[in-house]
Amino acid sequence: MNLTTTLSLILLVALLSQSIVIFFLIKSFRNIIDELKSNILLSELKADPTVYQNDRKLEKVREFSLKEKTLIFISPNCSTCQVLYNHFSSSNSNLYFVLLDVFPEWNDSRVIVSPELFKKLNITTTPVQINFDDQKEIILKKVIYNESDVTVA
C-alpha cells in the first residue's frame, strides 16, 4: 500500500466517525427539544387562567389541576356528546366535560368552558377523551363513539 492509499483510508475512517458522532448529536438534540416542548405545554395547562367552572358564573379557576383527571371535550351540536353528558354528568368525580362556549343546558360544576384547552390540546372533533396521570401527563387521547368507549382515570 502506498502513502496516498493509506492517507485516503485514514481520511475515510475519520469522516465516517465524524458522521456517526453528528448523527447521534442530532438525535439527542431532537429528543431534548421534544421533551422541552411537552414540558412547556404541560406547564401552560397547569395554570390555565381561562378555565371556567362553577354554576356558569364564569368564575376563573386559578389552578385547575389536571392530576388524575379525565377530560371529555364535547359540543352541544353532537348527539354522541349529549348522550355522554347525560350518562356521565353525575357519576364520576374525576371526569370533567370541556366546552368551547357556555351552553346553558349543561350547567354543572364539572363542565369547564375553555377554548384554550381545545387549542392547546389540538382538539378538532368531538367527543374526544384525554386522561392525565398523577404527573399531569397525557396517558390517553382518543375519539369516543359511545359511552362504553370512555375509560375514566
Q: Are 66 and 136 in contact (CB under 8 A)?
A: yes
Beta bridge partners of 53: 59
What cell does 57 get? 358564573
- pLDDT tens profile 72-106: 898 888 888 888 888 877 776 678 888 888 777 77
- Position 18 scores a pLDDT of 95
Mean pLDDT of 109-121: 81
